[in-house]
A and B are shown apart, each in its own frame.
Chain A
Amino acid sequence: MLSDNAPLLSLNGLSACIGRQTVLEDVGFTLSNGQCLAVVGGSGAGKSTLLRLILGLRKPAVPVAGHLCFDGHDYALSKASSGKPMGIAYVPQSPAHGFDPLRRLRWQWQQLQRLLGKHAAGGEVLDALGLPVLAKAFPHEWSRGMQQRLLVAMALLEQPKMLILDEPTSALDPLIAAQVLTEVQRVAQECDIAVMMVTHDLALAAQFADQIAILHQGHMVQTGPAQQVLTAPSCDYAAELVAHRYWQQENPESLAAE
């Protein structure tokens, strides 16, 4: 059994490459039960790759070095390793690929319920995310934002030990984005779920995350408590990112003027 203060997940020295290109170098962080970590960074920084490696997926990138400890189990990460940590739910970046196009959404939702042995559960999560009743719709009949919210709902239904969300609000308007993350936060606190999410929105990160990790070109340039990262960025890139956010916040009229 884990003691209360041992982290749920700790990652050390993860390096990974796609072909000959190194996409992650010496990445590491720790995450405790019930905590929320926001990963921010530019497009192509390697955020999605990092998430998929933690899930034990070896596409597109293959780990070359590193050590993962999740829920008391150790996983050495290398070209030959093959262990997959159990009990992590994942919301992929692209909602369009998250559903079988041939199956009705209700079927896919019910199949998940069957797999989890939770028949008829999860209705309140759908409500809280503002989703309509899962009628006979096929995935393509729902908007991207609705698909994305349903993926989040499915991940929450699993009540995993850890939730990995890849830009879960990329297709949502700011109000619904906040609503979704509030629900995620509620379930996470209720069930003591650790959350790791990628986001491009520092305001959301500031609001919901306990910790922020900044990824820049495959390096984790800063990681720490959210307030500390936002107020005392430790490197040029982090400073630039944070400054940009405050510029937007303090000068709303300059945006409107354009």
Chain B
Amino acid sequence: MSMSLSNPNVKQTIPAMPGTWTLMVFALTLGAGMLMTPYDPTQADFLNRLATPSALHWFGTDHLGRDIATRVLYGSFWSLGLSLGVVSIGAAIGTIVGLVAAQNGRWVDMILMRTTDSFFAFPELISAVTIAGLFGPSTMNLVLALIVVSWMKFARLVRSLAISVVQQDYILQARLNGLPAWRVLWQHNLPNILPGVFVLWTNSWSRTILAISGLSFLGFGVQPPNAEWGAMLLDGKAYLLTAPHIMIFPGLAVLFAVLTINLTGDRWRDRLADNI
């Protein structure tokens, strides 16, 4: 096994993670780009409508004359950042539910797992659309909707991992030797569970990026004039034939982000499979 969050000794055994590096370079580029761009992502400039890519506007401009490169950069805040938040909150909720279910067993376990099962009955996109339909389309409702449908996988995974870890003899020994329950949880259970959670987390992150972009494209998510990649695709739809660059660049951004995150996750999964 190669991952532990708390023990520096164990960290030394983690070999270089190319996927992780790509992600970090990606994030740095986005940050630096946002600092350096001379344009405002939402400020319209009607004299420069639908300009094709040039030295001044690397990715061209959209139907309101806004610089697409700048909007793609700022869009990463919504597409990557928002989805990261959603997935992390979902992962935290799911992890807690799974741990509580595994530790308590019996009826607590049964109630929590049946609840989890029933949440699985909501298909992701449809429930988001339903919530948007009920409460109006807004970023907040989108976030809530996606959290509601994102935690169950984590709960199931953590429960099954935790149950198998709890039955291991070293947990029992630690308890017999008087290590307090919370320290057993912190020192032994969590480090043994988190690598699996992390793999699922990267997986869910890329799925959530697609969900946010998809919903925004349908008009249920992040609202104009905010530069979200899916919303940008929607902006460019009317100009698909005359100014395809409006759609191409945000589309590429989604593709590249999802691909990078998925590859990182796969890499981690292989690592873990090797080491278990």
> Which partner residue on chain A sits nearest B3 by CB separation?
A102
Task: Give CA–CA (A98, B276) in the complex, Å.
Answer: 15
Residues B4 and A97 in contact, CB atoms below 8 Å apart: no
| With known contacts A100-B192, A112-B177, A59–B167 Cβ distance under 8 A | yes
Q: Does A70 sit within 8 A of B, measured CB to CB?
A: no
Task: Give CA–CA (A102, B9) in the complex, Å.
Answer: 10
* Cβ proximity bits B161-177 to A, threshold 8 Å, 1 near / 0 not: 00000011110111011
Residues A107 and B9 in contact, CB atoms below 8 Å apart: yes
> Which partner residue on chain B sits nearest A158 by CB separation?
B177
Most chain A Cβ neighbours within 10 Å, of B7, B9, B10, B169: B169
Residues A115 and B177 in contact, CB atoms below 8 Å apart: yes
> Which partner residue on chain B sits nearest A154 by CB separation?
B173
Chain B contacts with A in 243-276, Cβ cutoff 8 A: 276
> Which partner residue on chain B sits nearest A55 by CB separation?
B176
Residues B172 and A57 in contact, CB atoms below 8 Å apart: yes
Task: Give CA–CA (A112, B9) in the complex, Å.
Answer: 18
Residues A98 and B177 in contact, CB atoms below 8 Å apart: no
Task: Give CA–CA (A112, B187) in the complex, Å.
Answer: 13
Task: Give CA–CA (A156, B172) in the complex, Å.
Answer: 17
Residues A107 and B7 in contact, CB atoms below 8 Å apart: yes
B172 partner residues in chain A, CB cutoff 8 A? 57, 90, 92
B169 partner residues in chain A, CB cutoff 8 A? 92, 94, 97-98
Task: Give CA–CA (A1, B64) in the complex, Å.
Answer: 90
Residues B176 and A101 in contact, CB atoms below 8 Å apart: no
Q: Does A99 sit within 8 A of B, measured CB to CB?
A: yes
Residues B177 and A97 in contact, CB atoms below 8 Å apart: no
Residues A116 and B1 in contact, CB atoms below 8 Å apart: no
B4 partner residues in chain A, CB cutoff 8 A? 102
| With known contacts A59-B167, A97-B168, A115-B178, A103–B10 Cβ distance under 8 A | yes
Cβ 8 A contact of A98, one of B10, B167, B170: B170
* Cβ proximity bits A111-134 to B, threshold 8 Å, 1 near / 0 not: 110011000000000000000000
Q: Does B179 sit within 8 A of A, measured CB to CB?
A: yes
| With known contacts A102-B191, A107-B9, A112-B177, A97–B1 Cβ distance under 8 A | no
For the complex, would chain A's binding face be called helix, strand, loop or mixed by DSSP majority? Answer: loop
Task: Give CA–CA (A105, B204) in the complex, Å.
Answer: 34
Task: Give CA–CA (A254, B178) in the complex, Å.
Answer: 51
CB distance from A161 to the nearest CB of B (A): 13
Q: Does A219 sit within 8 A of B, measured CB to CB?
A: no
Residues B170 and A102 in contact, CB atoms below 8 Å apart: no
Residues B9 and A100 in contact, CB atoms below 8 Å apart: no
B177 partner residues in chain A, CB cutoff 8 A? 112, 115-116, 158
Residues A98 and B173 in contact, CB atoms below 8 Å apart: yes
CB distance from B182 to the nearest CB of A (A): 15
Task: Give CA–CA (A98, B7) in the complex, Å.
Answer: 20
Q: Does A144 sit within 8 A of B, measured CB to CB?
A: no
CB distance from A216 to the nearest CB of B (A): 26
Residues A101 and B10 in contact, CB atoms below 8 Å apart: no
Q: Does A200 sit within 8 A of B, measured CB to CB?
A: no
B167 partner residues in chain A, CB cutoff 8 A? 59
Chain A contacts with B in 57-88, Cβ cutoff 8 A: 57, 59, 84, 88
Task: Give CA–CA (A55, B175) in the complex, Å.
Answer: 12
B170 partner residues in chain A, CB cutoff 8 A? 97-100, 108
CB distance from B132 to the nearest CB of A (A): 43
> Which partner residue on chain A sits nearest B167 by CB separation?
A59
CB distance from A206 to the nearest CB of B (A): 28
Cβ 8 A contact of A90, one of B1, B3, B173: B173
Q: Does B188 sit within 8 A of A, measured CB to CB?
A: yes
| With known contacts A92-B169, A94-B169, A98-B170, A103–B7 Cβ distance under 8 A | yes
B10 partner residues in chain A, CB cutoff 8 A? 102-104
Task: Give CA–CA (A108, B191) in the complex, Å.
Answer: 14
CB distance from B178 to the nearest CB of A (A): 6
Task: Give CA–CA (A37, B38) in the complex, Å.
Answer: 83
B168 partner residues in chain A, CB cutoff 8 A? 97, 100
> Which partner residue on chain A sits nearest B166 by CB separation?
A59
CB distance from B193 to the nearest CB of A (A): 10
User: Closest 9 CB pairs between A and B?
Assistant: A92-B169, A97-B169, A97-B168, A98-B169, A115-B177, A102-B1, A100-B170, A102-B191, A100-B188
A residues whose Cβ falls under 8 Å from a Cβ of B: 55, 57, 59, 84, 88-90, 92, 94, 97-104, 107-108, 111-112, 115-116, 136, 138, 154, 158
7 example contacts (A-B, Cβ-Cβ < 8 A) are as follows A90-B176, A92-B169, A97-B170, A103-B10, A107-B9, A115-B177, A136-B9
Known: A97-B169, A98-B170, A100-B187. 6 other contacts (CB 8 A): A59-B167, A92-B169, A100-B170, A100-B188, A115-B179, A138-B1
